[in-house]
Structure 1
Amino acid sequence: MNVYLSKLSEGDAEELFQFESINRAFFEQMIPSRGDLYYEYETFYSYHLQLLEEQKNEQCLFYLMRNTDSHIVGRVNLIDLDEEGMMSIGYRIGELFIGKGMATEAVRLIIEKAAAHPKVKRISGKTTENNIPSQKVLERNGFILTAADEDNFYTNDRGESFRFVQYILDVEGHK
């Protein structure tokens, strides 16, 4: 496939900041904003170091999606491993790379990593109801739709409100 995962490292900060900044408006059409401070390099770098600290004990796993030229095309993460073996997945792919199967492949690859982790049993995912491509990525990787929030929780900069939809995947079937 045309994408591979690389574990997040300190040396990725500048390239990742550029990727996030370039794609900000695109991302904020579908998901809540990370806020203006996130897009100031000093703040971004501080957050980056916090993620690396969280990753040390494998309670969270942060990966970059890279294309065959080794450029960042997206991110995929598993966070917040709990006592029951549940983690939450999150991912984003840059606007220039949508529709090429990269997000689907990256999610498949991170499921493999989760299946190799001795404590991970299930992965939860959520996206907004309007983000059909993200829903398809989850469904193509075996996630099952389990719920839709009853209330609107997210409003984008155009004043549109959306509900979140929830998914779950049993990792045991991938081990």
Structure 2
Amino acid sequence: MLTLERLRADHADALLAFERENRAYFARTVPDRGDAYFTPDGFAARHRALLDEQHARVCHFHVLLEDDVLIGRVNLMDAAGGTAELGYRVGERAAGRGVATAAVARMCRLAAAAYGLTSLTARTTLDNPGSMKVLARNGFLPVGETTLSGRPGVLYARRELTDTPPPAPGSGG
């Protein structure tokens, strides 16, 4: 069963293990976090900084669990004025099973219901068609070009965010 949990201090060890295990996999389609991120001290400092941002309600960070095993992250960054930027990553072992699509759908509902957001944006690199499909399946539309650490990408938006997901493509709704 998939669950989203708000990021906590006690997630640090599992999150670092997840990031290390999937580093090469993620680097194929998203900018790498850099060597310092993966050191115990570097990761601990970054984790504390994320928790501080979350406490200030600037961001809302979540871990994605499947049967109590951390398999991904889903985050809302820079929340202000009813909008935030969605970011997510699902580990290689969970890829291709609809996990990211389901997690983003849950986060869209949570963004509206728990955080009072009315719209979301997201970015992905041009060489990440899987992420583009996840966003499209969740009602995000391409609205422009962007870059991620110098890599060309697409900016997406989902406006009129409600606590219910949009109809699935091909559902007639």
TM-score, normalising length from structure 2? 0.88
CA distance in 2, matches of 1:135, 1:86: 20
CA separation in 2, counterparts of 1:20 and 1:115?
A: 28
Amino acid at match of 1:73: I
- In structure 1, runs of 5+ residues without a counterpart are 156-161
1:171, distance to aligned residue in structure 2 (A):
4.1
Runs of 4+ in 1 over 3 A off after TM superposition: 152-155, 171-175
**Are 2:117 and 1:120 aligned?**
yes
Pairwise CA distance, 1:148: 2.4
Contact 1:120-1:171 at 8 Å conserved across structures: no
Higher relative contact order (CA 8 A, sep 6+): 1
* Aligned counterparts of 1:67 and 1:89: Cα–Cα separation in 2: 20
What are the superposed Cα offsets for residues 99-138 of structure 1, whole Å, 9 maximum, x if unpaired? 0111111111111111114541210000001100001111
Of the three residues 60, 71, 89, the one matched with 1:73 is 71
1:62 alignment counterpart: 61
Deviations 1:5-57 (A, max 9, x none): 01110001011100000100111110111110001011101100111111113
Question: What CA deviation, in whole Å up to 9, does each residue of 1:58-84 have, x standing for no partner?
Answer: 22110111112x1011100001012x3
Name the amino acid aligned to 1:79. Answer: M
Correspondence 1:100 to 2:100:
no
Report the secondary structure of 2:22's partner residue: helix
Partner amino acid, structure 2, of 1:54: E
Distance in 2 separating the partners of 1:87 and 1:29? 25
Residue 147 of structure 1 deviates from its aligned partner by 1.3
Tell me if structure 1 keeps the 8 A contact 2:125–2:148. Answer: no
Cα offsets for 1:71-98 (capped at 9, x unmatched) = 011100001012x322000000101110
Report deviation, 1:4. Answer: 1.3
Unaligned runs of 5+ in 2: 165-173
Does the 8 A contact of 1:17 with 1:44 survive in 2?
yes
Question: What is the letter of the counterpart of residue 91 of structure 1?
Answer: Y
2:11 partner letter: D
CA distance in structure 2 between the aligned counterparts of 1:67 and 1:119, rounded to whole angstroms: 26
- Distance apart, 1:172 and its partner CA: 3.5
The match for 1:174 is: 163
Aligned-partner Cα distance in 1 for 2:76–2:115: 14
Write the distance in 2 (CA, Å) between the matches of 1:53 and 1:133.
31
Aligned-residue CA RMSD (Å): 1.6
- Amino-acid identity (%): 35
Aligned length: 164
- Give, in whole Å, the separation in 2 of the partners of 1:118 and 1:28: 30
